[in-house]
Structure 1
Amino acid sequence: MAQYFEIHPDNPQHRLLKQACTLLERGGIAAVPTDSSYALACHLDDKAAVDHLRRIRGVDDKHHLTLLCRDLSELASYAMVDNKQYRLLKSATPGPYTFILEATKEVPRRVSHPQRKTIGLRVPDHRVLQALLTLHGAPLLATTLIAPGEREPLNDAQHIRERFEHQVAAVIDAGACPSEPTTVIDLTPMGGGGEPVLLRQGRGDLAPLGLQPGAV
């Protein structure tokens, strides 16, 4: 049965978030609010938790998982980024964007893309999630909370609790999230002198990044 944490959106209760962190550290999956929609999150270094997260979401190892980071200071340990890529990242974080980057050897192979050796990276602009990440002290591995066979992300904590209460360890309720996923941008072509590639247009505005709309 999932533990349900009602967290104040502007003044997150440290005690409750610490309890949620403990569940994550014990291998649990948490449904967490973000600035785009709810996400499923787990401990980066826990293989069993990562496998469980994929089962809940209904995706295989070719689906990009995302590192939820507090800020760009955590970037160097997990992704290889040149100056041009970094400037673009800095202009768009925190915010509702997911960036695909070349993974470093610090990223466990089981969580990077098996063929491309890439990883998704995201710095969310959400006070409660930022507080959780600070208490955890490291990035969390995450994926948008879209139920298997469906296309729209979930954004209501009570609904998530009812639907996944036997599959996740915690649901963090900080009020409704937007019901739109992140904008996903592949920055790996920039490493070879190319331009960033829009993979999915979501909530993040493209104008500050100098990109044009276009579906893939």
Structure 2
Amino acid sequence: MRIESITKIFDCKEDNAVSTASNLLLNEEVIAVPTDTIYGLACSANCPEAIKKLYSIKGRDAAKPVAICVSNISDVRKWGKAEHLQDDLLHSLLPGPVTLVLEKTKYLDNPYLNPQTRKIGIRIPKHEFMNQLTQMLDKPVALTSANFSNEPSSLRIEEFEKLYSRLGAVFNGGVLSNGLEVNRSGSTVIDLSQSGVFKIIRPGISYEKIVEILKKNGLSKI
């Protein structure tokens, strides 16, 4: 661990990194974390004060939605309405660089989380640190890219240094997405809220592969 500005920076491989991150989220902090795509800003999704802090740090319009990270397919079904989606389809997409947009369930009841829509993006990143964190926390983790709004996404922690002083901690997972500029697009975002169809909200990493999986499972593009 080293100190830069007033923010603590942890190596994700440190023995206590996951428990430290979990405790910070439980205490309404916003932290920076690695994912399988880009670095993100994370907080506890059902905590109103944490979500307000997240939007303030990001400089983000409160009308723009953020996604949540969860641990497994049963969590996807708990926080998003996915009765119309087969387990085989969900397991073929997750974990991985895809965000599934579904209707919120009653359990996702933070009035500050995506207040202008009934939908929520849900991710299970294919990343050991994030998977361990969501399992330990046992709550949904709100996640948005670690940058100011409308600025490039970050593949290295040095790229969002100007945010450090406003974060509870930064968790360093090294260079992400092999450092490839093309991969700054982040996850592919797909609306699966309607039965039998899908809508592309944002093409991202593995876009063609994800669309192929959806079509093979009988879904039509709208």
Answer yes or no: same fold by TM over 0.5. yes
Aligned residues: 203
Which segments of 5 or more consecutive residues in structure 2 lack a partner in the other structure? 1-5, 178-183, 217-222
Structure 1 CA distance for aligned equivalents of residues 117 and 165 of structure 2: 34
Structure 2 CA distance for aligned equivalents of residues 72 and 175 of structure 1: 27
- State the match for 2:101 in structure 1: 100
Conserved? CA contact 1:65–1:111, under 8 Å = no
Corresponding position: 1:14 with 2:15: yes
- State the match for 2:132 in structure 1: 131
- The structural deviation recorded for 1:112 is 4.5
- State the match for 1:45 in structure 2: 46
**TM-score normalised by L of structure 2:** 0.83
Structure 2 CA distance for aligned equivalents of residues 153 and 17 of structure 1: 23
Cα 1:112/1:42, change in 2 over 3 Å: closer
- State the match for 1:208 in structure 2: 213
- The structural deviation recorded for 1:85 is 5.5
Structure 2 CA distance for aligned equivalents of residues 144 and 85 of structure 1: 29
- State the match for 1:56 in structure 2: 57
Structure 2 CA distance for aligned equivalents of residues 79 and 153 of structure 1: 26
Conserved? CA contact 2:46–2:140, under 8 Å = no
Corresponding position: 1:155 with 2:160: no
Conserved? CA contact 2:92–2:213, under 8 Å = yes
Structure 1 CA distance for aligned equivalents of residues 64 and 100 of structure 2: 14
Conserved? CA contact 2:22–2:136, under 8 Å = yes
* Same amino acid, percent of matched pairs: 27
Corresponding position: 1:199 with 2:201: yes
Structure 1 CA distance for aligned equivalents of residues 113 and 20 of structure 2: 28
Alignment root-mean-square deviation, CA: 2.1
Conserved? CA contact 2:96–2:125, under 8 Å = yes
- The structural deviation recorded for 1:116 is 3.3
Cα 1:145/1:86, change in 2 over 3 Å: farther
Structure 2 CA distance for aligned equivalents of residues 196 and 68 of structure 1: 20
Cα 1:113/1:45, change in 2 over 3 Å: closer
